[in-house]
């Protein structure tokens, strides 16, 4: 037994360890497939065999020989000499022209011509699919010529020759008229313009054909299918999703700062990669601010990733001052990216590369320290960051040495962010599971208390929790009180064993209680086979309107539940049971009684006693549901409720008569309809009864009972009339029935 208890009390770490992974592991593929495959379903699939392939298309332009000419004249659009003056022959892409020539400081933009020649077969110029050019990245201002004819113009210079709007674009695909080409050799020329840099040791990385990815010439539909950016778009959308996911975690648990830092890091990743997406470029004329947004995001990613490591491993520990200083260094760098001229701001990119290498060292410091101190998840995070550091360090070093990018960092970021999210979500779930175990224990204790003292009772006493209850607490309220009792329960229980009696009562009460709680009431006491329920008057209501209606609706629902309960009893071979329900509305007092060692809650007042007396009279008058005149007054529209007056009665303990009503809405359709139709005749017969005209009243009640054998109240008054005829009442009798017993 001890080992079983120990195993039950242990945190369910092994079972819970994979929940975070499974949670995101289920969401991410669905999102990936939805974003990536959705656009693919609308893509035009090339039929096989493709005649363009047999014509040598698509043609990889970046694999052809290129010539770069410094300067530009209108004659260059048709081409220029391969080996002329101020002409360079680059060996590989990307083509960044100002890297190929000696630095010459100047105020106005630099102009360059880029040229290549290629051969097309006659077959390439046939067919319906137009030709097109695909440019992975091109900037800053540019225009394209085929055989001397303009095909795309993104050159936006003002009258003084300065750049008016920057047009650095990614993923550009535009169609070309086949009539511009001819079989044999063709010439393709780019005219590029961009800012001159303030220093010769930094080139303009926004000017040129800036990607190592293939630049292509081919059929438009062919290139559209080949150059789909669905995978990249999927990753960028997932970055946004993860950012939202993590920031929502942080808003729920603001002490967990690593959620905030990794969420902002994911958000900046999305900004960085989405800034040049064709959808974003179509929304703006000038891409300068998209460029600045990319650079600011770049400046913020390093410190956010380091802050994540710091808060994840050492949330409650102090770090060396130089580490904290290192974390704020990118702030002035980001400010420079926003406000400095774009050519000057590009110098900050080299500064950022140096900072990024330093950030790798600081990140290594965090990892080593975490491993030495054996902090949580140190091994998992270290394994993730080891691969990340190697790839990012190699990419930055390669860029600084060769001024070209390997392009692996984007995919590495994606893998790292996913792995980190899964890791911290898993950690959160394990911690949350431990909290749930503690909360479950507290909840069980609280629920155990509220099974004896309803929460509504506490609210009516103005208390928030059980700890606030003291002996003598009380509150005066106007409420509706409902009593319900099983008819002939004593004789019924005599035929059952104690176990059968408890099983019967629990089954019966399980059917009745939901009807009360559904309509805003609560059970104050279970009294054997009896139920006492209270319906409070909500703040703002008048004279018990809401409580009366809700109590009456609960009573009708209880009678409906009784039919279902009786159906089960009949199936088990047991006889059906009947109940009586009485309701009264009025003032009462709720409070606590007892001693300092033992407290109980109770409700006292004439309203409670009268509601109990009304319920006991249901068996006398042979009705199922009886209410007082005060309940009727509390109804918004009494005429909407099928009811009729029963008569006047003085119950035990009172001297003033009360008017009683039968509500018969829960009866079967036929009986209910007959009672509604006979209501005027019943009222007339009742008036004759009160006036002592018993023969006339007896005839009226007899006619009603004959028409509706289920009308037990009419049959009751018919018998009463017979008794009064045989034994007339004393002089002065006013039709009020006086009860001297409960």
- pLDDT, one tens digit per residue, over 164-180 is 999 999 889 999 999 99
DSSP state of 74: G
Distances in Å between the Cα of 713 and the Cα atoms of 261, 559, 621 are 75, 18, 6
Alpha helices in 320-408 (DSSP H): 321-328, 330-339, 342-345, 347-372, 378-402
Characterize the bridge pairing of strands 643-650 and 737-738.
parallel
Give the Cα separation of 441 and 125 in Å (integer): 78
Mutual orientation of helices 712-726 and 679-690 as an angle, nearest 10°?
20
Write the CB contacts of 341 (distance below 8 Å, at least 6 apart in sequence).
Answer: 195
State the DSSP code for 639.
Answer: G
Do 188 and 117 contact (CB within 8 A), yes or no? Answer: yes
Please give the pLDDT value at position 408. 60
CA-to-CA separations, 163 to 109, 154, 203, 336, in angstroms, rounded: 7, 11, 17, 20
Distance, in Å, from the CA atom of 169 to the CA atom of 356, rounded to the nearest integer, reads: 26
d(CA 195, CA 140): 8
Strands across the sheet containing 149-154: 87-88, 67-70, 110-120, 184-194, 141-146, 149-154
Give the model's pLDDT for residue 399: 61
Q: What is the Cα–Cα distance from 638 to 644, expressed in whole angstroms?
A: 11
The predicted structure's pLDDT at residue 717: 92
How many helices (H) and strands (E) the chain has is answered by 25, 20
Q: Are 528 and 471 in contact (CB under 8 A)?
A: no
The position carrying tokens 């019924």 is 492
Alpha-carbon span 683 to 700, nearest angstrom: 10
Give whole-number Cα distances, 643 to 85, 281, 520, 619, 679, in Å: 109, 73, 23, 17, 9
Q: How many C-beta neighbours within 10 Å does residue 655 have?
A: 6
φ, ψ for residue 588, nearest 5 deg: -160, 175
Can you state the percent helix, strand and coil of the chain, rounding each to 5? Answer: 50, 20, 30
Strand 530-536 versus strand 522-527 pairing type:
antiparallel
What's the CA gap between 8 and 65, in Å, rounded? 73
Closest-CA residue to 423 (of 333, 312, 574): 312
| CB-based contact 675:711 (threshold 8 Å) | yes
Query: Cis before residue 433, ω within 30 degrees of 0?
Result: no
Look up residue 187 and give its two tokens: 């010439």
All residue ranges of the chain with pLDDT < 50 are 1-49, 54, 449-450, 539-544
Alpha helices by DSSP H, listed for 373-408, are 378-402
C-alpha–C-alpha distance, residues 734 and 102, integer Å: 123
| 3-class SS of residue 485 | strand
Q: What's the whole-model pTM score?
A: 0.53
Q: In which residue are the tokens 């929304």 written?
A: 283
- Which pLDDT does position 308 carry in this prediction? 82
Six-digit token string for 2: 């001890």
Q: Minimal CA–CA distance to 427: which of 244, 262, 241?
A: 262
Cα-to-chain-centroid distance, residue 255: 21
- 12 contacts: CB under 8 Å, gap ≥ 6: 433
What pLDDT does 65 receive?
94
Rounded CA separation 170/570 (Å): 78
Which of 696, 715, 716 lies closest to 704 in space, CA to CA? 715
Do 643 and 661 touch, CB atoms closer than 8 A?
yes
Instruction: Report the distance separating Cα 394 and Cα 411, nearest Å.
Output: 14
Q: What is the pLDDT of residue 358?
A: 84
CA atoms of 156 and 427, how far apart (whole Å): 53
Three-state secondary structure readout of 249-286: HHHHCCCCHHHHHHHHHHHHHHHHHHCCCHHHHHHCCC
């Amino acid at each position: 037994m001890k080992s079983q208890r120990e195993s039950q009390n242990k945190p369910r770490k092994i079972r819970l360890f994979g929940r975070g992974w499974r949670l995101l592991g289920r969401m991410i593929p669905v999102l990936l497939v939805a974003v990536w495959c959705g656009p693919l379903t609308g893509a035009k699939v090339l039929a096989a065999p493709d005649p363009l392939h047999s014509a040598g298309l698509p043609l990889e332009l970046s694999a052809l020989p290129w010539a770069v000419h410094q300067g530009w004249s209108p004659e260059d659009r048709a081409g220029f000499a391969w080996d002329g003056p101020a002409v360079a022959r680059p060996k590989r892409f990307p083509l960044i022209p100002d890297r190929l020539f000696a630095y010459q400081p100047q105020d106005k933009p630099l102009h360059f011509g880029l040229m290549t020649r290629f051969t097309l077969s006659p077959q390439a110029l046939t067919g319906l699919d137009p030709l097109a050019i695909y440019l992975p990245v091109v900037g800053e201002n540019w225009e394209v010529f085929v055989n001397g004819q303009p095909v795309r113009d993104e050159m936006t210079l003002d009258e003084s020759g300065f750049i008016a709007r920057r047009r650095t674009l990614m993923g550009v695909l535009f169609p070309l008229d086949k009539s511009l080409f001819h079989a044999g050799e063709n010439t393709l020329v780019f005219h590029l313009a961009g800012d001159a840099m303030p220093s010769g040791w930094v080139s303009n990385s926004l000017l040129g054909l800036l990607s190592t990815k293939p630049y292509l010439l081919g059929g438009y539909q062919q290139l559209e299918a080949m150059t789909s950016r669905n995978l990249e778009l999927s990753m960028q959308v997932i970055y946004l999703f993860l950012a939202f996911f993590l920031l929502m975690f942080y808003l729920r648990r603001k002490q967990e700062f690593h959620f905030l830092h990794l969420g902002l890091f994911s958000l900046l990743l999305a900004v960085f990669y989405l800034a040049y997406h064709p959808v974003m470029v179509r929304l703006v004329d000038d891409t300068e601010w998209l460029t600045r947004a990319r650079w600011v995001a770049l400046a913020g990613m390093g410190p956010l990733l380091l802050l994540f490591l710091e808060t994840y491993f050492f949330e409650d520990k102090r770090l060396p001052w130089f580490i904290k200083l290192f974390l704020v260094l990118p702030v002035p760098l980001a400010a420079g990216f926003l406000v400095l001229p774009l050519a000057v701001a590009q110098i900050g990119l080299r500064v950022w590369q140096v900072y990024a290498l330093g950030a790798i060292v600081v990140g290594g410091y965090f990892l080593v320290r975490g491993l030495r101190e054996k902090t949580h998840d140190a091994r998992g995070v270290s394994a993730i960051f080891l691969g990340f550091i190697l790839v990012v360090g190699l990419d930055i070093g390669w860029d600084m040495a060769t001024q070209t990018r390997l392009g692996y960092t984007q995919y590495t970021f994606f893998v790292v962010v996913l792995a980190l999210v899964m890791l911290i979500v898993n950690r959160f779930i394990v911690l949350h599971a431990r909290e749930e175990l503690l909360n479950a224990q507290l909840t069980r204790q609280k629920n155990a208390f509220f099974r004896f003292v309803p929460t509504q009772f506490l609210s009516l006493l103005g208390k928030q929790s059980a700890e606030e209850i003291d002996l003598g607490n009380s509150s005066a309220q106007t409420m509706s009180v409902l009593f319900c009792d099983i008819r002939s329960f004593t004789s019924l229980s005599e035929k059952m064993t104690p176990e059968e009696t408890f099983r019967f009562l629990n089954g019966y009460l399980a059917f009745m209680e939901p009807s009360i709680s559904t309509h805003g009431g609560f059970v104050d006491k279970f009294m054997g086979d009896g139920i006492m329920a209270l319906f409070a008057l909500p703040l703002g209501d008048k004279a018990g309107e809401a409580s009366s209606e809700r109590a009456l609706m609960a009573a009708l629902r209880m009678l409906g539940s009784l039919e279902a309960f009786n159906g089960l009893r009949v199936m088990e071979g047991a006889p059906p049971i009947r109940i009586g329900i009485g309701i009264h509305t009025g003032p009462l007092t709720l409070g606590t009684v007892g001693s300092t060692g033992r407290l109980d809650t109770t409700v006292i007042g004439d309203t409670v006693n009268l509601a109990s007396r009304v319920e006991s009279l249901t068996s006398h008058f042979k009705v199922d549901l009886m209410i007082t005149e005060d309940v009727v007054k509390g109804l918004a529209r009494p005429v909407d409720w099928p009811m009729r007056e029963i008569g006047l009665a003085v119950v035990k303990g009172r001297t003033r008569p009360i008017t009683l009503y039968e509500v018969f809405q829960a009866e079967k359709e036929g009986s209910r309809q007959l009672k509604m139709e006979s209501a005027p005749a019943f009222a007339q017969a009742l008036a004759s009864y009160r006036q002592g005209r018993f023969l006339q009243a007896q005839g009226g009640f007899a006619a009603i009972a004959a028409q509706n054998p289920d009308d037990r109240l009419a049959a009751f008054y018919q018998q009463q009339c017979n008794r009064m005829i045989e034994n007339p009442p004393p002089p002065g009798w006013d039709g009020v029935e006086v009860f001297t017993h409960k």
